Chain A
């Protein structure tokens, strides 16, 4: 039923260019209200996947549905309520910003023209709207791309590297805008390799590498599965390290920077603190350290040991072999 269908649902998505397998059997689901991060190194297949989602390129196999509609079968009807851009947004350089939006609004035919002033205000391009886009900076074009997307009153916004090339203030403003849009109920599919941006904005992520999804799920789950790390400062770190290493359920204990780092489940940490107390070692601080998205991303996408992890279970194992935060 299209009415109950998720904003994006890809199943078995494959795109092959001759010998090159750009997208290899990708499954992903973006749910209503998600701010969904689509992560991967350059060339991982992110943009190709988004192009297939928008009906710009034909999958070799599999399908993408937007709100239950397949762009390959239903054409632009499948893009009803969907907007965004892939790679850099492109406009007619010989037309002004407003003229470009007028053109796109005319092609939308859903009262979009009446929203031009509003979206130009939102992205703060109103004063430059009459100028030719050929003279716009990269950041202004990115903002015009957002304006063009908002003209469609989207329920799903697909943004491919929206902050690329922006200065720090521009990046901050872009994040603010995305947060606002998400707050208004727009589902956002955000492709990025800017990990702090994704960590700040997204609640669910898919990480792709070499055309395959190596993780899909809640960002919080990913970070938990990356291994719950702790850092312990005591009155006697040498003795504390010996006690920590002897404690059941504690792994990867190392002494560094006047503290002891280790991995353990929460219940085992309780037992450890009692053991330290009984041994007369005073606890100055015991702080949990969750893996950053950057740590997890590199663990999933770099062949540290000759192979990528293929699912979250393997990620947890990988996390157990290396102290969290040690890079």
Chain B
């Protein structure tokens, strides 16, 4: 700064003008840009890409395929479209919630860790906007992870075994294009419980102010619910457990489409997501930013 005097002579203080608040969409775009710039973002997405590839590679090398108790197992080598369905089946219980938690649990707490919360909260975007942008970014990441995994699974499956007809849970044969649409719809439907998981992650991220604690905590919550679902005598509450909603998308792969589990999943997941987001919002709004 030794030549400060020689730099611009424009006045640095502007006259008081009309105050303009930043747009939430702008804050959201920047949350995405921050995600894109962080290596940890690619860890989850990498898992979403590599697991379907490993699955297809392993199945291609096997001589005999177990038929299992799922109608899609016998179809692995008959239609590439069976791969994304089976991948959703495998990944939906644990891996995709883990991937969603990686970002949701980190998205507020990382700002605490870096000390950057004070930096962004003293600009012209209010706390509600920042929180909304972070929630939207976490949900966007979860969406990208799900569809990236589905896209890779579909591409790898079709490349290995062809773009063929597929038989749904109800035994109906559907055309390849209809099957592809169903794969897309099933993954979209799975986002409902995944958004609830991400919402819990954002809450823990806001409350704990510690990325690792929030990520592990979110995964811990989903494992706890899975364990609760296995306890004899608690069958009555099972339909209301978050992890039970992971399979709601099965209704789309029946003829006629069974919308009941999807509707049920929507309101049950809302019971988890809405309180988590409201609590996270209130904590974020009122918290003291004393660190950094």
**Which of A's residues lie within 8 Å of B, judged by CB?**
48, 51, 54-58, 67, 75-77, 79-81, 83-95, 99, 103-104, 106-110, 118, 121-124, 143, 148, 150, 152-155, 169-170, 173-174, 176-177, 180-181, 184-186
Contacts and interface: CB of A to CB of B under 8 A. Distances in A.
A75 B126 contact: yes
Contact of A186 (B10, B12, B27, B121): B12
Contact of B114 (A85, A93, A173): A93
Contacts of B122: 54-56, 79, 83-85
Given A94-B37, A109-B22, A109-B23, A185 B119 contact: no
B121 A55 contact: yes
A85 B119 CA distance: 7
17 contacts: A75-B127, A106-B22, A106-B27, A107-B120, A107-B123, A108-B124, A109-B22, A121-B7, A153-B12, A154-B13, A170-B1, A173-B1, A174-B1, A176-B4, A180-B5, A181-B12, A184-B11
A51 B26 contact: no
Contacts of B33: 99, 103
B288 interface: yes
Interface string B1-39: 111110110111110110111110011011001100111
Most buried by A among B5, B20, B22, B286: B22
A154 B13 CA distance: 5
Contacts, number: 151
Given A57-B289, A90-B114, A106-B30, A123 B121 contact: no
A185 B11 contact: yes
Given A94-B38, A108-B123, A153-B12, A173 B26 contact: no
A76 B123 CA distance: 7
A155 B15 CA distance: 8
B116 interface: yes
Contacts of A106: 22, 26-27, 29-30
Interface in B98-133: 114-116, 118-127
Given A103-B120, A109-B20, A184-B13, 16 more contacts: A55-B122, A58-B288, A85-B122, A87-B115, A92-B37, A92-B114, A93-B114, A103-B33, A106-B30, A108-B22, A109-B21, A109-B124, A148-B119, A154-B13, A170-B1, A185-B13
A150 B34 contact: no
A123 to B, nearest CB: 6
Nearest to B40: A94
Contacts of A91: 116, 119
Nearest to B19: A80
B288 A76 contact: no
Contact of B13 (A56, A80, A153): A153
Given A81-B16, A153-B12, A177 B4 contact: yes
Given A95-B34, A169-B2, A186-B13, A57 B23 contact: no
Interface of B: 1-5, 7-8, 10-14, 16-17, 19-23, 26-27, 29-30, 33-34, 37-39, 114-116, 118-127, 286, 288-290, 292
A80 B5 CA distance: 27
A140 to B, nearest CB: 11
Contacts of B286: 58
Contact of B289 (A51, A107, A118, A121): A51
B10 A118 contact: yes
A43 B257 CA distance: 66
A89 B123 CA distance: 13
Question: Which 10 A-B pairs give the minimum distances between C-beta atoms?
Answer: A153-B14, A173-B1, A90-B115, A57-B288, A107-B123, A56-B289, A109-B22, A80-B19, A186-B13, A107-B125
Contacts of A58: 286, 288
A124 B11 CA distance: 17
Contact of A176 (B1, B115, B123, B290): B1
Nearest to B118: A56
A204 B290 CA distance: 27
A122 B21 CA distance: 26
Contacts of A88: 115, 292
Nearest to A56: B289
A99 B27 CA distance: 14
A58 B127 CA distance: 14
B151 to A, nearest CB: 27
A320 B126 CA distance: 52
A36 to B, nearest CB: 16
A148 B10 CA distance: 17
B19 A77 contact: yes
A76 B1 contact: no
Contacts of B16: 67, 80-81, 155
A104 B13 contact: no
A297 B43 CA distance: 53
A123 B20 CA distance: 26
B232 to A, nearest CB: 45
A79 B124 contact: yes
